[in-house]
A and B are shown apart, each in its own frame.
Chain A
Amino acid sequence: MSTMDPATSPAARPEPSVGMPTHQKAIFVVLLILLVALPWFVYPVFAMKVMCFALFASAFNLLLGFGGLLSFGHAAYFGMASYVAAHAAKVWGLTPELAVLAGTAAAALLGLAIGSLAIRRQGIYFAMVTLAFAQMVYFFALQAEFTGGEDGIQSVPRNDLFGLIPLESNMALYFFVLVVTFGGILFIHRIIHSPFGQVLKAIRENEPRAVSLGYRVNRYKLMVFTLSATLAGLAGAVKSQVFQLASLTDVHWTMSGEVVLMTLLGGMGTVFGPMLGAAIIVTMQNYFATLGAWVTVIQGVIFVAGVLLFREGIVGLIARWTKKPL
């Protein structure tokens, strides 16, 4: 994964090295306005789900699109954080922000541990190592007492935010989720456009050259891996508060696959692509729910069409047309 054809990664094209380009700023502002208005137009729980997955996919994209590392085990961090956050809110009675922090911290530690081993390998070996660890986490979740096996952790209470603000209503929760996930995505954006992010891109494009320039490549890789796992965990932790449950679905390998699909469909290595990809996939899962088996078939067809027709993903394609990094 360390050397990639520049044609497939639109972010590789020249762009302002550090700081946020104006048009991206504008898009973020428009996006925020849309998101604030959204719950009056679509069902808030659904909108919250889309935002959680948008953050999850963006976190994954940080690793794949900017670090050039394809992880097949991101469900581990997403799912483990959702278990820990659910447990913290239900059994320890923590307030939502603390429960989410606990979940995120668990994902960070897990990411650090798995990352420190996985980054020693490259390419397909790296992907397989992350998959293997994710399966270990899955079996842990299946067996451990506190996760409730296949029943999952259910009826997680929606405690008061900071012990003060009730989150019982979907609207109140929506704005909590909006702040957290939007903050997470802005943080990712900041990472990408920091000097650290520039070094990451350099490593992605040509690792030996980055080494020869004196960068400690492994430290950068471990850092981005842990950041990505942490932010994926943040998404999972928030999701457990939204749905008031944590279950095996979130740690299952299909979840790792889904996030890859979201990222590739939307546009790997773009800022807005993963969010769009997440929105498309989640919308399909919900609104095509009556079509039965066709949900998976349509997902597959879209993926194949995406790979054949627009390999840069939807946003990648738009970025090429408009000649602006998105």
Chain B
Amino acid sequence: MVRKTALGSVAAAALVAAPVMAQDAIDVTLGVLNDRSGIYADLSGEGSVIAAQMAVEDFMAEDKGLNVEILSADHQNKPDVASNIARQWYDQDGVDAILDVPTSSAALAVADITAEMGGAFINSGAGSTELTRGQCQPTTVHWTYDTAALAIGTGGAMTDADTSWFFLTADYAFGHSLEEETSRVVEEAGGEVVGTVRHPFPATDFSSFLLQAQGSGANVIGLANAGGDTVNAIKQASEFGITQAGQSLAALLMFVTDVHALGAQTAQGLVLTEAFYWDLNDATREWSARFEERHGSKPTMVHAGVYSGTMHYLRGVEATGSTDGETVVEWMKANPFDDPLFGQGYVREDGRAIHDMYLFEVKTPEESTGEWDLYNLLATIPAEEAFLPMEGGGCEFVEAAG
């Protein structure tokens, strides 16, 4: 494991100047576990390690008596590799918290191991709602987003009384649940789902599905798929001129790096929900500029989530003077955060971090002033409405306590 010592030991001068802090420095080891070679390497990868380092530096951990070290590893999107590394980290390398972990199956495996080993798991990269519902753990904090929040954001904010939707759904459990969740939100908002077509997973040719979607006359075409499927569907929709013809295209799981790769020309008019965008306000711009300097590209919401999650975790360690996972996570839940990147929010009892989400539309090439100037903000989804309610979520320890 590469060890990047972010900070040295506490300076003697600080000890003299601040006798309150004269106790021994607390050693904190953070492990960033994510995909560094596969499809999620751009949206998490090395950027998440940099985000964690920035959090440690900005927190000024050294001055606060924390001795923070950051490890990183590639789980290759394999849950067994993730589980092996996580165990080894906790057992042998003294890791206190694991950060990021995209890919649901890997994240769920790490959540279990973390609970067993008494660490803390601050997830930013994975989208599975199971992390805070059926398979929740008292040591898990799910920071950035989940698929339900994306469905609520896109489905809710785009729909009013006479909006009709047509779904292009990847034919497997993930696609089905995304479609189901979004349909529920659309119907609650008074809209109507006029049709749905299931495409095989993965698919390369979307033309017949897109023609069906176009022929349905629906106002919004929802893409209930992910990764390469979404990118392919958007490319072909652009060839068909679907958004130019007046229908909206809504991606239900997409990241700014995907949009950047497609370019404004192809992705223009696409609507999507994210938890963070670099160009939201002065604080996000300032942080993103510093991030870009070190990483070479703008941060994704996953990177921002690693930063903010690490920050809140370190606050917890400082306040409790402990690195015991459950203790720190309890503190994180008891104390709301006011974060430069995610604004005001709090961590709910079940581990779900509650903050605003945003609905964006991809700019046209004419509007876009730079390669990363990609989004127009359409709506802000207030924190209280942005996520699934905790009640009836099936999280055992919450229901036992309530």
Contact = CB atoms under 8 A, between A and B. Distances in A.
Interface of A: 43, 45-46, 49, 142-143, 148-152, 154-155, 239, 243-245, 247-250, 285-286, 289-296
B79 interface: yes
B74 A286 contact: no
B260 interface: no
Given A239-B80, A249-B79, A155 B105 contact: no
Contacts of A250: 80
Nearest to A292: B36
Interface in B82-117: 83-85, 87-88, 91-92, 103-105, 108-109, 112
A148 B45 CA distance: 26
Contacts of B79: 152, 243, 245, 247, 249
A318 B171 CA distance: 49
* Residue of A46, A245, A289 with most chain B CB atoms under a 10 A cut-off: A289
B164 interface: no
B350 interface: no
Nearest to B72: A290
B172 A45 contact: no
Nearest to B175: A149
Nearest to A240: B80
Q: Give the 9 A-B CB pairs with smallest separation, nearest first.
A: A149-B173, A292-B36, A293-B37, A289-B73, A152-B105, A247-B105, A154-B108, A290-B2, A247-B79
10 contacts: A43-B92, A49-B80, A142-B173, A150-B103, A244-B109, A245-B80, A248-B105, A249-B105, A289-B73, A295-B74
A149 B226 CA distance: 14
Nearest to A295: B37
Given A289-B81, A293-B36, A143 B109 contact: no
A254 B332 CA distance: 40
A285 B105 contact: no
A53 B196 CA distance: 42
Given A239-B80, A290-B1, A292-B37, A149 B91 contact: no
Nearest to A252: B78
A45 B84 contact: yes
B37 A150 contact: no
B41 A293 contact: yes
B174 interface: yes
Interface in B14-48: 36-37, 41, 45-46
A289 B112 contact: no
A245 B88 contact: no
B130 interface: yes
Contacts of B91: 43
B83 A245 contact: yes
Given A152-B105, A289-B75, A49 B37 contact: no
A3 B72 CA distance: 48
A285 B135 contact: no
A149 B92 contact: no
Contacts of B81: 285-286, 289
Contacts of B92: 43
Contact of B76 (A148, A155, A289): A289
B268 interface: no
Contact of B172 (A49, A142, A290): A142
A43 B92 CA distance: 8
A249 B78 contact: yes
Nearest to B112: A155
Nearest to B115: A155
Contacts of A244: 83, 109, 112
A138 to B, nearest CB: 11
B74 A292 contact: yes
Contacts of B73: 289-290
Given A142-B172, A150-B104, A286 B72 contact: no
A151 B133 CA distance: 13
A160 to B, nearest CB: 17
Contact of A150 (B1, B88, B109, B173): B173
* Residue of B84, B88, B135 with most chain A CB atoms under a 10 A cut-off: B84
A169 to B, nearest CB: 12
A312 B103 CA distance: 37
B88 to A, nearest CB: 5
Interface in B262-296: none
B201 interface: yes
A250 B105 CA distance: 12
B323 interface: no
Contacts of B130: 151
A290 B1 CA distance: 6
A286 B91 CA distance: 15
A143 B173 CA distance: 6
B169 interface: no
Nearest to B108: A154
Contact of B109 (A243, A285, A289, A290): A243
Contacts of A292: 36-37, 41, 45-46, 74
* Residue of A151, A239, A248, A250 with most chain B CB atoms under a 10 A cut-off: A151
A46 B103 CA distance: 21
B37 A296 contact: yes
B67 interface: no
B139 interface: no
A150 B147 CA distance: 13
Contacts of A289: 1, 73-76, 81, 85
A245 B105 contact: yes
B136 to A, nearest CB: 11
Interface in B160-183: 171-174
Contacts of A43: 84, 87-88, 91-92
Contacts of B112: 154-155, 244
B329 to A, nearest CB: 18
Nearest to B103: A150
A286 to B, nearest CB: 6
B50 to A, nearest CB: 14
B144 interface: no
Contacts of A142: 172-173, 201
A235 B110 CA distance: 22
B88 A45 contact: yes
B128 interface: yes
A149 B174 contact: yes
A290 B74 contact: yes
Nearest to A249: B78
